[in-house]
Structures are given as structure tokens and as C-alpha cells.
Chains A and B, each alone.
Chain A
Amino acid sequence: MAQMSMVQAIRSALDCSLNKDPNVLVMGEDVGFFGGVFRCTEGLYEKYGAHRALDTPIAEGGIVAAAIGMGVNGLRPVVEMQFADYIYPAIDQIISELARLRHRSGGEFWAPVTIRTPCGGGIRGGQTHSQSPEGIFTHVCGLKTVMPSNPFDAKGLLISAIEDDDPVIFFEPKRIYNGPFYGHHNGDPNTVPGNWSTHPAGEVPEEHYKIALGVATTLRSGEAITVLTYGTMVHVAEAAIAASGIDAELIDLRTLLPLDLDTIAASVQKTGRCVVIHEATRTSGFGAELIADIQEECFWHLKAPIERVTGWDTPYPHAFEWEYFPSQQRIIDALNRTLKANL
């Protein structure tokens, strides 16, 4: 057991996977010699060589296409898209090809590709270094979509993703690469600096282990209201719940697709109330799917309308970051509204 940041945990997952299976390779822009712009692949080039920590041309569509071909030919590529905001040139390869290959070929061909990509805001990243496009991918049949919220989960989920025979889009919230982030509180986002070195979820086994895809985790049990979230917002929500004093049940979804609807439904059927939180924009975001599912599964248990706290329906702003990023206060307000409402 070692204390790791999320970056270190991801690197450890890649190291374990490269070590275990000669068919695994990591590839992407700057991932080889340089070790990645976020250091997630640091040292892998020295340890495993240029073939297995493979630098690529700057061509997201080409990188994913090459990984598909490699996957068809028996390799298990772990692809990095440097920012989720830059995954779009690869969309055709991901949606039309990677996601559908197994189905369209009647199971003849498939490619076990994992696509890692840093996502999310809260870092003054502006329009093209802050996006949360997970809803685009959960809409695609044939893809699994994962977003961890801490180092322990990140390593276990990433190893599962790599060993999974289905394609996985693995979103890494870059705001929490080096420590948990509790949101913009009292005017200064840095008043509560997070650090994985003192966080329980920063304790990560150095050896190989897996966390099953498709299984949510309940971080806090509560009776009054269910809070569903993932990624960076897990920590913001946790802090908001503590500040509010409300007895909320906090669920970290971890995998968005396949969704752990059993855990979600059991919680909402118990509490009768629910707030959904994500950084991504609101309209047609993943929250809409969650709310629809809950409405179908828990309609007769609901005591209040389901609320969602999300990014606004605008491109991610630079100057107005803290008006955009869902704050603890916005979460607390939503919790209170939902508690007061009675059907």
C-alpha cells in the first residue's frame, strides 16, 4: 500500500497492465519519451520502450483508428486523448467504428481499446481545456463510460477497463489529479486545498487489483435525500452535504454506462428525494438520463421533483469560471428546495 495521487495511481495501473500483458501498449500525443503532459505515463518509456509507450502524430482520429486496427490484431491499446475537449476529431472512429465493430460484424471482430482522457473544469481551462463530454459517449451504444473520483478507484477501474473486451472511454477529472477539490467556497476555490497524501482514497495498493465496471459506490449513507454524482463533483457534493447538515446519501456512480441502476433505485426508493450533480452542461446531459431512469424506477416513491445541479448551457467560460462551475452553495440550495418540496 502506498499513498498516491490520481496521476500516480493511473500510472501505476498502466505499469501493472504493461507488466502483466505484452499485448498492452499505451499510445498518444507526448505519452512516450516525455511521459505525458500530466505525467500519467512518466517512466513507462524508459521501463517498457518506445514500442509500448508510443508517441504519435497529433491526429486524434488517426490515433483511435490505429488503436482499433491494433485491437483487431490482438493488442490491447490504451489510448490517450490529451484533453477530452480534443476527442472530437476521433468521434467518427469512436462512434461509427470502435463502438459498433462487434455488433456489425456479428461478433467476428472487436477491439478492446481503452481511451483515457482528462476532462472537467475548475482549472481556468477556458473553452477547450474544461469540457465534460461524457453525455456524448453514454449516448453511443457499444461503449462503456467511466469516470473515477479518487486514486484508489482510478487504478482499479482503469485496470478493469484495460482488461475489458469492450471499448471503454475513461474520463479522468484533471482538477482532482493532484488532490480532491471541494469547489468554490466563500469566494476562493483555494481555501480548502485538497491533498491525496492525507486522503483515505489516496491509499492505493501497488499491485494489480480491479474494481468492477458498472458498480456504483455509496460514500455516505443517509435517509433524507439521495445525491447522485461522479468525478470532481463527488468532493464538492460531499463538502456541500457536510456544510448543509442534511442527512443525504451520496452515491459516486463511477461507471456511467453500464449504469448501476439497482444501487440508485434502492437509495431513491428509500429517501424519496434525489439531486443529480454534474459539471457538464444541462440540456441532454447525462443527468437527464439519470432522472428519466429514476422517474421510471422510483415514481411511486418520489416525494419531490428530482433536481439537477449542472454546468450552464453555455460554452465553458474563462473569466466566469466560478459562476459556471456548480458550487457548494448551488448544491445546498438544491438540497434544501428538494427537502422542502412535497408531492
Chain B
Amino acid sequence: MTQRQRAAIPYISQLHVPRASSRPGETADFSQLEIPPAGAAKKPELSACCQEMTELAYGLVRVLDDDGQACGPWNPALSAQHLRDGLQYMLHVRAYDERMFKMQRQGKLSFYMKSSGEEAIAVAQAMALKPSDMLFPSYRQQGLLFVRQRPVVEMMCHCISNAKDNLKGRQMPVFYSWKEGNFFSISGNLATQYSQAVGWAMASAYKGEEHIASAWVGDGSTAEADVHHAMLFASTYKAPIILNVVNNQWAISTPQSFASAGTTFAARGIGFNIPSIRVDGNDFLAVYAVTEWAAARARKGYGPTFIELFTYRAEGHSSSDNPDSYRASGEAQAWPLGDPLERLKQHLINRGEWSEIRHQDLEASLKSAVAKDWKEAIAHGTLDDGPHWPVESMFEDVFKDMPPHLRRQQQQVGK
């Protein structure tokens, strides 16, 4: 080919780099988002096959409308007391997050991650599951622990690595583990727990038990190979599991479009032949209903369900992150699906089952409860001054029994 011929070829491929919903200095604008009305999504039979659910994978299950009314076939018809419990758990999570973030800023713990704006997901999902179901969380589902009644003092003791930390000072804050509550050990390596959860569910089926697994991953982490593995194995073996993607729009500074490739995350389930649903993650009732439906499917032997929980990460990624450096500062306020706590509160008020006064009282009492818990936690030791676990304990649990080389090293440290 001559130089002239080569120059004549019209190369038209272009490298497409997705854009963020907003960047600093811009005005946050979500008007391009298609938000279907509440109550519009159909609710299929538990035995529905994946093909029957295509609309749900591209749609958005919503129960609470803009006026706080519950509508449509997905309304889980929960009692007012159940919903007040849910609201209390969410408020508790928010009060806990606020306190812990503040303590991080004061240097009392090394690191923290809030779940602001995503409280409905962990709380409603945990409430829709049985206590014997196994949870494989990422690092932003602390609400699961509140529903399962983990003592807040214990969570705090973990975060400050003191002598009462059940993880013996080995993990960074928020990487909780709580076997008693069927809450799997959180790992820093993203998405690894997603495919492990499928193995757990496979074992449950292997043993003929009714327990199911539920696993969570963020929008960004769906790009990891483990998510592909989880979906394929779950589908191949019809594992009793709920695979959740919490699409909070941001993976640190990276917009969800880098992992979603311009479609919904739920749509990805279709190719794996997994019934898949996209749900308004800030709608407590919708999240509850979809989870309850998926859990019933799993328990009946219909296999996995893939759920995209559509939400917004209202604050920074972590205490080490400043979101104002990569997105418009007003984005959280512009999020069209609102705040999950406000929406459930409004719904309860509309039903005559809640009031502004009761809400404020509850907020205040949770705030003081968390402050009291903090005082109790630091009485068991602080990160800087201890008491911590004895340093020799660092060598324990590497193996079930300590091999000679670790025993030697332990003696060196002990001297």
C-alpha cells in the first residue's frame, strides 16, 4: 500500500471517554434521567424467567410517589410499626455515621466511610431477610448491622482497634466482621466477597438448607472479574442468592458510566439468564419489596436474582476523600430520588403514623445514644493510647495452630 493510498483510508474510530454527571463549577443537572412514576412497574410471578423481566431490568421499581403515598403492585403493605422500626434503624445509622466521621476529623479514629443517602438499602434489605441468611457486604452496608442488633459499642470498639475489638486490632475501621450476626468479614479487596457469597449459597443448596446468601457490590466494583464469576456461577448452579449492585453513581471520583457502559447494571443480569430488577434505592418500600421477592425466589429454588439499587452517594467516598474536587457541590441536593429517610418519614406522616415532633425527638435521642456509646467505647481503650490486644496476638489466627516460625517471631516481638 502506498503512502497516498493509506492516507485515503477514512479512519473514523474514536476513543470514547464517558463524561461525569457533573464536574466542579458546573450546575448539577439530572434532568436527563428517566424516572418512571411510582407504582408503574409490574410484579412478576416468583417463577418468572429472565426474559419476562427485561422491562424491570431497564425500568425502575418505585412504590413511594412524590407525595409519600405507597402505590402499585410492589407495595409490600408493611405495618406502621415495621416501617417505624425501619426509619429508626436508618436514623440510627445516620447518627452513627455523623458521630464517627466527626471523631475521625478529631483524630480519634484513622478512617471512616459514611453511607449517607444509602441507608434504605442496607436497612430495608436486612429487614426483608431472615436472621439466618448470610450477608456478604461491601464496606458501605453498615445498616445491616443495626437491623441485626449488633451493639453499637462493639462496632465503635472495632473502629478504634481497642482491647474489645473483635478483630483484635487487625483491620482498618469499618471492615466489620460479625459471625454471630451472619455478617461476613469485610475485605478491602473489592468484589471478592461477591463470588464467595455464591459459593456459600451453593453450599447451602448442597446441604439442602433453606438459608440464602445476599451479597453487595458497588457500581464501580462491578467492573471486577469477581462479579462476572459470581453471576455466572450463581446462574449455572441456580444458587440461592441475591446479588445486589448499589449504584450510587460514583466510584470515588469515577462516574458509574465507566462501569455501566451506558446501560443499566440490571441489564447485565439478562445475559447471564438471571432475573434482574432495577429499583429506586431511596424508596424504603420498593427496596423491601424487591428484596422480599428475591429472597422468596431463592428459597423456593428458583435461583439467583440480580438487583440494581439506584441511589446516590450523598457524601465523599471516605474520610480521605473530598468530592468537591471532582463533582459539582450541589449534586446530592439535585438528586431526583431524594433522601430515603425523608421519603419514609413523609409516608408515615401521611398515614398518620408519625409526626415532625416524634421524628425530632427520635433524632435527638439517637444522637445522644450514639454519644453515650462512644464514651463507653473509648472507656475500653483508644486507638492511640490503648489498651489494645496484646501485641503477641498479631501472630495468632494466621493459622489455626501456630507453626514454629511464627512462634519464633512472636517470641522476638514479646522480648
Please give the residue numbers on chain A whose beta carbons come within 8 Å of chain B beta carbons, in ascending order. 25, 51, 56-57, 59, 61-62, 65-75, 77, 89, 92-93, 96-97, 100-110, 141-142, 144, 165-166, 214, 257-259, 261-262
Please give the distance in Å from B276's CB to the nearest CB on chain A.
19
For B270, list chain A residues within 8 Å (CB): none
For B170, list chain A residues within 8 Å (CB): 103-104, 106
Please give the distance in Å from A158's CB to the nearest CB on chain B.
18
For A100, list chain B residues within 8 Å (CB): 187
Roughly how many angstroms separate A67 CA and B178 CA in the complex, as a whole number? 21
Roughly how many angstroms separate A62 CA and B189 CA in the complex, as a whole number? 15
Roughly how many angstroms separate A143 CA and B305 CA in the complex, as a whole number? 34
Roughly how many angstroms separate A142 CA and B202 CA in the complex, as a whole number? 25
Known: A68-B199, A104-B167, A258-B399. 15 other contacts (CB 8 A): A62-B232, A62-B233, A65-B199, A65-B233, A66-B229, A69-B136, A69-B200, A103-B398, A104-B170, A104-B177, A105-B177, A105-B185, A106-B166, A106-B167, A141-B398
Please give the distance in Å from B321's CB to the nearest CB on chain A.
22
Q: Are B229 and A73 neighbours in the complex by a CB distance under 8 Å?
A: no
Please give the distance in Å from A225's CB to the nearest CB on chain B.
25
Of B121-129, B190-198, B306-314, the one with at least 4 CB within 8 A of chain A: B190-198
Please give the distance in Å from B210's CB to the nearest CB on chain A.
13
Please give the distance in Å from A98's CB to the nearest CB on chain B.
9
For A96, list chain B residues within 8 Å (CB): 187-189, 192
Q: Are B167 and A105 neighbours in the complex by a CB distance under 8 Å?
A: yes
Report B110-134 residues with CB < 8 Å from chain A CB: 134
Roughly how many angstroms separate A68 CA and B192 CA in the complex, as a whole number? 10
Roughly how many angstroms separate A296 CA and B197 CA in the complex, as a whole number? 44
The A-B contact count (CB < 8 A) is: 145
For B175, list chain A residues within 8 Å (CB): 104
User: Would you give 27 A-B contacts (Cβ < 8 Å), ordered by A?
Assistant: A25-B206, A51-B206, A59-B229, A61-B195, A61-B226, A62-B228, A62-B230, A65-B196, A65-B198, A66-B233, A69-B195, A69-B199, A72-B184, A73-B199, A96-B192, A97-B196, A101-B185, A102-B399, A103-B170, A104-B171, A105-B179, A106-B166, A107-B396, A107-B397, A141-B398, A166-B400, A259-B405
Q: Mark B223-248, 1 if CB is under 8 A from A, else 0.
A: 00110111011001000000000000
Report B378-399 residues with CB < 8 Å from chain A CB: 396-399
Q: Taking the complex as formed, is B204 at the interface, i.e. its CB lies under 8 A from any CB of chain A?
A: yes
Q: Taking the complex as formed, is B403 at the interface, i.e. its CB lies under 8 A from any CB of chain A?
A: yes
Roughly how many angstroms separate A102 CA and B406 CA in the complex, as a whole number? 15
Q: Are B196 and A104 neighbours in the complex by a CB distance under 8 Å?
A: no
Residue with the highest number of chain B CB atoms closer than 10 Å, among A51, A61, A101, A104 = A104
Roughly how many angstroms separate A19 CA and B351 CA in the complex, as a whole number? 60
Q: Are A73 and B397 neighbours in the complex by a CB distance under 8 Å?
A: no
Please give the distance in Å from A103's CB to the nearest CB on chain B.
5
For A214, list chain B residues within 8 Å (CB): 403
Given A105-B167, A106-B168, A89 and B177 touching (CB < 8 A)? no
Given A69-B196, A73-B134, A102 and B397 touching (CB < 8 A)? yes
Q: What residue of chain B has the Cβ atom nearest to residue A22's Cβ?
A: B207
Q: Are B397 and A103 neighbours in the complex by a CB distance under 8 Å?
A: yes
Please give the distance in Å from A252's CB to the nearest CB on chain B.
19
Report B396-413 residues with CB < 8 Å from chain A CB: 396-400, 403-405
Roughly how many angstroms separate A207 CA and B197 CA in the complex, as a whole number? 35
Q: Are B177 and A109 neighbours in the complex by a CB distance under 8 Å?
A: yes
Q: B200 is contacted by which of A51, A73, A102 (Cβ under 8 Å)? A: A73
Q: Mark B143-158, 1 if CB is under 8 A from A, else 0.
A: 0000000000000000
Roughly how many angstroms separate A211 CA and B397 CA in the complex, as a whole number? 23
Q: What residue of chain A has the Cβ atom nearest to residue B166's Cβ?
A: A106
For A93, list chain B residues within 8 Å (CB): 192, 195-196, 226
Roughly how many angstroms separate A16 CA and B286 CA in the complex, as a whole number? 50
Please give the distance in Å from A234's CB to the nearest CB on chain B.
23
Residue with the highest number of chain B CB atoms closer than 10 Å, among A89, A106, A110 = A106
Please give the distance in Å from A264's CB to the nearest CB on chain B.
12
Q: B189 is contacted by which of A73, A97, A110 (Cβ under 8 Å)? A: A97
Q: Are A69 and B166 neighbours in the complex by a CB distance under 8 Å?
A: no
Roughly how many angstroms separate A112 CA and B398 CA in the complex, as a whole number? 13
Please give the distance in Å from B212's CB to the nearest CB on chain A.
11
Please give the distance in Å from A80's CB to the nearest CB on chain B.
15
Roughly how many angstroms separate A92 CA and B165 CA in the complex, as a whole number? 26
Nearest 10 interchain pairs by C-beta: A69-B199, A62-B229, A66-B199, A65-B195, A258-B403, A73-B203, A69-B200, A105-B185, A69-B196, A108-B179
For A103, list chain B residues within 8 Å (CB): 170, 397-398
Q: Taking the complex as formed, is B287 at the interface, i.e. its CB lies under 8 A from any CB of chain A?
A: no
Q: What residue of chain A has the Cβ atom nearest to residue B231's Cβ?
A: A62
Roughly how many angstroms separate A68 CA and B166 CA in the complex, as a whole number? 21
Roughly how many angstroms separate A70 CA and B225 CA in the complex, as a whole number? 19
Q: Taking the complex as formed, is B201 at the interface, i.e. its CB lies under 8 A from any CB of chain A?
A: yes
Given A62-B229, A66-B202, A66-B233, A106 and B196 touching (CB < 8 A)? no
For A70, list chain B residues within 8 Å (CB): 199-200, 202-203, 206
Q: A106 is contacted by which of B187, B225, B226, B397 (Cβ under 8 Å)? A: B397
Q: Are A102 and B398 neighbours in the complex by a CB distance under 8 Å?
A: yes
Given A61-B229, A258-B404, A104 and B185 touching (CB < 8 A)? yes
Please give the distance in Å from B323's CB to the nearest CB on chain A.
27
Residue with the highest number of chain B CB atoms closer than 10 Å, among A69, A96, A105 = A69
For A65, list chain B residues within 8 Å (CB): 192, 195-196, 198-199, 226, 229-230, 233
Q: Are B398 and A75 neighbours in the complex by a CB distance under 8 Å?
A: no
Please give the distance in Å from A7's CB to the nearest CB on chain B.
27
Q: Are B198 and A66 neighbours in the complex by a CB distance under 8 Å?
A: yes
For A62, list chain B residues within 8 Å (CB): 195, 226, 228-230, 232-233
Q: Are A142 and B195 neighbours in the complex by a CB distance under 8 Å?
A: no
Please give the distance in Å from B387's CB to the nearest CB on chain A.
16
Given A66-B233, A69-B201, A105-B185, A110 and B400 touching (CB < 8 A)? yes
